[in-house]
Amino acid sequence: MKSPLPPPISQTTGEPSWRWRRIVILTTVAFCMMMIAWMVDRADTQLNILIASGLLWLAGVLILGYAGLATVQDVSAIITTRTGRPYADPVAPPTPVDHPPADQTIVVQKGGVVEKIDQAADPYAELKGIVE
């Protein structure tokens, strides 16, 4: 019989799959909870108290370990890749800006007089012409 779950492969982001870890942890926690539910109506012997305590500890350690291991894995990936988003696509380098043409002459018309301003010599000449 073929498994209904897809094979455990890396995500498209590069993050490893947690499928098998999740299956093992959730199965074990479910077993612990079923055993504790079964022990509710049993005698309060020292052995039963010890078993129930051990099952609760096992479930707690697995739940905290599951969350803690995810955090450790992410932090180690951040340290290894030296980026805050280790599983994201790499950022493309910025595209270079084309330099303006060598001729930076601006034609300004003031009251019927046409004036040519060399912007390379005075980069704020265009603003001065508008304000005046």
If phi over 0 gives left and psi between -120 and 50 gives alpha, with beta otherwise, what is residue 44? Answer: beta
pLDDT tens per residue across span 1-38 = 566 655 555 555 566 677 878 888 889 999 999 999 99
Distance between CA atoms of residues 132 and 128, nearest Å? 6
pLDDT tens per residue across span 38-86 = 988 888 899 989 999 999 999 999 888 888 888 888 888 888 877 777 7
Tokens of 50: 């010890």
Q: Is residue 106 within 8 Å of residue 119, measured between CB atoms?
A: yes
